[in-house]
Amino acid sequence: MKLKDKVAIVTGAASGIGKQIAIRFAKEGAKVAVSDLNIKGAEETVAEIKANGGIAFAIKTDVASEADIQALVDTTVKNYGTVDILVNNAGIMDNMEPAGDIEDRNWERIIAVNTTSVMRSTRKVLPIFLEKGKGVIINVASIGGLFGARAGAAYTASKYAVIGFTKNTGYMYALKGIRCNAIAPGAVMTNIGASMTGINEFGMSRQQTGMATNPRAADPAEIAGVAVFLASDDASFVNGAVITADGGWTAY
């Protein structure tokens, strides 16, 4: 078991990539805090983990809320004594809007969920990691944070920011035993599209240009395998990196 006796927090773990990361971490021996705004889905993830002999608990978290982030980490420490691994996976899409069509409320919500939450949760766990002299942070970014033609302007900006934050954090704490890396998935079969409230026709028409070059969509479990690697000692010398997992889409 690669994560035996580790304690992991996984946000957005009710479905998709987050769910598969939580399940894989538990199979590798970690105790998992399954965090999501969808508490019913989080509880279903926990039930699956426990059915396979793993250890987990569910907690309702709105990652856009500072109070909820505080409660997530504090509750995990109360239940399991510490935190060893933080996976910032929760995220939402935009509606493919180009810059000229962005409304402030949509921009602010996307940045709050996709970017500010990553900063806040990282800030919250760092004292724990610094005291122990070790810890792992994994941020689920996107190839939309590496290229400009995978989403609208707000989502793209939010994921570019996550990648920059990842690199800065990895460098800043490299001498403190703390690693911070990001995964940049391509198309993945999840329900994140449900967070879209109405497609911007112009924005979508521009994005469609490169969609046909995508070889395929991934199963969320394929991204979870990358997360297990980054969380484990197998990745002890991987820090401040962005692992692209897109089936070769951006190789075109």
Q: How many residues appear in the chain?
A: 252
Please say whether the beta carbons of 35 and 9 come within 8 A. Answer: yes
**Residue at token pair 């699956």:** 48
**The two three-digit tokens of residue 125, written as one number:** 């766990």
**Residue at token pair 């079969």:** 189
Which of 155, 160, 173, 252 is catalytic? The answer is 155
**Residue at token pair 């035996």:** 4
Please say whether the beta carbons of 163 and 118 come within 8 A. Answer: no
**The two three-digit tokens of residue 170, written as one number:** 């990895």
Laid out side by side, the sheet with 31-36 consists of 55-60, 31-36, 7-11, 85-88, 135-140, 178-185, 242-245
Known catalytic residue at 173: no
**Residue 179 and residue 235: Cα distance in Å, rounded?**
9
- Rounded to the nearest 5°, which phi and psi values hold at 228? -60, -45
Q: Which of 146, 159, 157 is nearest to 118 (CA)?
A: 159
- In the chain, the N- to C-terminal Cα span, in Å, equals 36
Catalytic residue list: 155
